[in-house]
Structure 1
Amino acid sequence: MADKGDIGWRLMAGAAAFAGGWAAKKAIGVAWKKSTGKEPPVNPESPDVALSEAIGWVVVVGIGVEVARLLATRAAARQWAKGTGELPSQLMADAAP
């Protein structure tokens, strides 16, 4: 069973990743509209969306959201280490997957 520190870290990391991903998707949507002059596709899977636009949107959002989640989780890990004196066990450099 997970200890309280492990549960606390999972909650903190999950919240940070969610917030980072949400903010990134919003920012990417604004940038998309500004650069293309069109709203981002709501449903890229739809045949009504041009294939090039759908692929472009999926690539930009996929990379952007994952980078934002990574940065948010790393920032949360730094704060966790400041508060507890050590990184969460899942993030130790020598931890097995």
Structure 2
Amino acid sequence: MRVAERDESLAVKVGTMALTLAAGWLAQRAVGMIWAKSTGHAAPKDPDDESVTIVQAVTFAAVSGAVAVLARRLAHQGARRYVARLASSSATPTA
């Protein structure tokens, strides 16, 4: 493996991690706000809480999981695209 390829994959991993953390935080906030507006209750924090029904807990878990996977995939794609753009702009043309 060439050094440039190893550096690029490291850059993608670091970028993905940073973007995933940011996207996860934003997604969590968005899901909580949407849940509160649509149900009139705060998002369930503790699944063992007696006031949270099993349907609410499962629904919230499914929605949260789906949003988390979407955020992670978009973060990874964005990091790969950004590193590819940086690599292509720093490459010198050979004429």
TM range (shorter): 0.7 to 0.9
- Which of residues 17, 39, 50 is equivalent to 2:42? 39
**Residue 83 (1) aligns with residue 74 (2):** no
- Which of residues 50, 70, 75 is equivalent to 1:72? 75
Separation of aligned partners in 2, 1:72 and 1:6: 15
Give the paired residue count.
83
Are the structure 2 counterparts of residues 6 and 77 from structure 1 closer, same or farther at C-alpha, using a change threshold of 3 Å? closer
Separation of aligned partners in 2, 1:28 and 1:47: 19
- Which of residues 11, 20, 23 is equivalent to 2:23? 20
Q: C-alpha deviations, 1:62-82, integer Å up to 9, x for none?
A: 001111111122112111110
Separation of aligned partners in 1, 2:81 and 2:21: 17
Normalising by structure 1, we get a TM-score of 0.77
The CA RMSD measured in Å over matched residues stands at 1.6
Greater per-residue helix proportion: 2
| Structure label with greater radius of gyration | 2
